[in-house]
Chains A and B, each alone.
Chain A
Amino acid sequence: MKESSELVTPGDLRYTRDHEWARVEGDVIRIGVTDYAQDQLGDIVFVEVPKMGRKYAKGEECGALESVKAVAEVFMPVGGEIIAVNSALEGSPGLVNSAPYTDGWIAEVKPEDLSEMEGLMTPDAYLEMLRGLKE
């Protein structure tokens, strides 16, 4: 398990209390789970991605990650419609472990309300929360 100092939290992302990340890319938002989440779960063996074309509310359960230890739900960082899912995860669920912020992305969302991004945590705020969890 990683120490707080070893956890990666890229500066261009925003974070949720449930350990998802969201990145604005033009008028879509790409989402995934954080380095901390994948580290806690351990080797991921199955990813249930959100349903293409379905609309989810912010905070709604939209998918699941199954590891050798446990199953964890994925919650929507922002509300909106799923316009793309990472189909590579079907054959290679380990991408979430090896590259949680790049190749291991989970879905792309067309947001209902882009201002919901402002309610998410900055990297510093998220790291601060993680330090609290590690104590």
Chain B
Amino acid sequence: MKEFAGSSGLVLNEPLLFDRGKRGRCGMSLPRRDVDHFPVDEELEGRGPDFPDLAETEVVRHYTRLSTWNFGVDTGMYPLGSCTMKYNPKTNEKQAALAGFAGAHPLLPEELSQGALKMMFELERFLAEITGMDAVSLQPAAGAQGELAGMLVFHAYHGSKGRRRSKIIVPDTAHGTNPASAALCGFSPVKVGSNDRGVLSVEAVAAAMDEDTAGIMVTNPNTLGFFEENIRGIVDIVHAKGGLVYADGANMNAVLGMVSMGDIGIDVLHLNLHKTFSTPHGGGGPGAGPLCVRKHLEPFLPTPRIVEEGGSYRLASDFPLSIGKLHAFHGNVGIMIRAYSYILSLGPELKRVSQLAVLNANYLKEKLKTILHLAYDRPCMHECVFSDKLQAPLKISTLDMVKRLIDYGFHPPTIYFPLVVPGAIMIEPTETECKEELDLFVEAFREIVKEAGENPELLHNAPWRPKVRRLDETSAARNPRLTCAGVINGERKS
């Protein structure tokens, strides 16, 4: 048997900081006070939070130990389907830390922010060229905000033609956020099913499209990992009824340099810089979901926009049809620098990123389909979807198998999504995993499937090796406990 990354290790325990420390202990020294004492307004006074008194070693070890409980793409393979957990090159961090960027302040005047504005302007041009679209706004802070911005553009576009439309077509293979974004903007999402090849048919869209429908949101490639091969026909039908076509670009990692979304008739597209362009996902931290549009929709983009005149850059808000401002200041600029660094590092090699991402997914698909049920047996793009159908008679579920995967040192793939495949296991290896790592992943799954037959309890109670064992997700959802034990409103209760 091969040696797996997860097969050994020392997991250090670490209590809460509130359980550490001693009164009077201190990890820092403040400069001597050299101004007179001045009392603050009594109304502003009160008891501060009861923070523990800690030494520097205690604080450093605390967070270092906590970090070892974590699993990230720097730790190992993280094949979360549709999330594109690719490696984040360290050079991106270096560029973002350059003094001119790191020290920039959003309230500096334009003449002192030319470097940052130029970077943003050029990033917009790069993203437009990569997608085949005409104009870009970097403001949206995440994919879902990009989608919402796209829906606001739909609404503003129809409004400018003096009409209101109430519906949006969303296929069952779209990202889960799509119907939510449409609904948040006041549209009613209309679900359209994919066909037996896992893609949308022209006929299904034709049957749903009417003159009360603002357009369609297509995730392309879709969440089954297939390119929507009928997209041209679908675009024609939607356009013929006066609708617009939105493409969720979250899966762009499969088609960089190969598909021009503008040329196939897409009107609006969002990108996830934290997926396709190698910026950190950040545990719910800053992302970026730039919005790309064709020429006829440029007037509706969020403001302020970056304008270049004679080699200098300024922010302009004089766009009367704009949907307005979506984010404080200019969006998550630190993330933009990282994506800019990635694009400049790879240049035309970006096409190879997609080729390798697709190759890796197809390699895994072929290797795993002998042991797992493959939902649609046809060449895939950047991800492939299996299910627990072969293991179900053994009472082994998708959840059991992927929890066991943790013991082998891999992050579980996306599970139970897309909904069109019951018990889905959606695997996206990305281009940054080498063949040896993919082989190890296949080997781990092979072992797990063997264990499913020989020792099902091993899977039912997995994982065994990480710091935290199988969590009771049901109790956590039914009876959530939202306060830390012993600490209420920042104060310790014994």
Interface residues of A (CB under 8 A from B): 1, 3, 40, 43, 45-46, 68-70, 93-94
Contacts and interface: CB of A to CB of B under 8 A. Distances in A.
Nearest to B398: A69
A3 B417 CA distance: 22
Given A68-B473, A70-B416, A93 B393 contact: no
B403 to A, nearest CB: 13
Nearest to B423: A1
B487 interface: no
B478 A45 contact: yes
B397 A70 contact: no
Interface hub of A1, A45, A68 (most chain B Cβ within 10 A): A1
Nearest to A66: B477
B89 interface: no
B397 A43 contact: no
Contacts of A1: 388, 392, 395, 397, 423
Given A1-B397, A69-B416, A40 B474 contact: no
Contacts of A70: 416-417, 419
Contacts of A69: 399, 415-416
Interface string B446-490: 000000000000000000000000000110011000000000000
Given A45-B474, A68-B477, 11 more contacts: A1-B388, A1-B392, A1-B395, A1-B423, A3-B393, A43-B474, A43-B477, A45-B478, A69-B399, A69-B415, A70-B417
A64 B460 CA distance: 28
Contacts of B474: 43, 45, 68, 94
Nearest to B396: A1
Given A1-B397, A69-B416, A70-B416, A46 B392 contact: no
B105 to A, nearest CB: 43
Interface in B195-253: none
A70 B416 CA distance: 7
B299 interface: no
Nearest to B397: A1
Contacts of B388: 1
Nearest to A91: B478
B376 to A, nearest CB: 16
A96 to B, nearest CB: 12
14 contacts: A3-B393, A40-B422, A43-B473, A43-B474, A43-B477, A45-B474, A46-B477, A68-B474, A68-B477, A69-B399, A69-B416, A93-B478, A94-B474, A94-B478
Contacts of B423: 1
A70 B421 CA distance: 12
A46 B415 CA distance: 20
Contacts of B395: 1
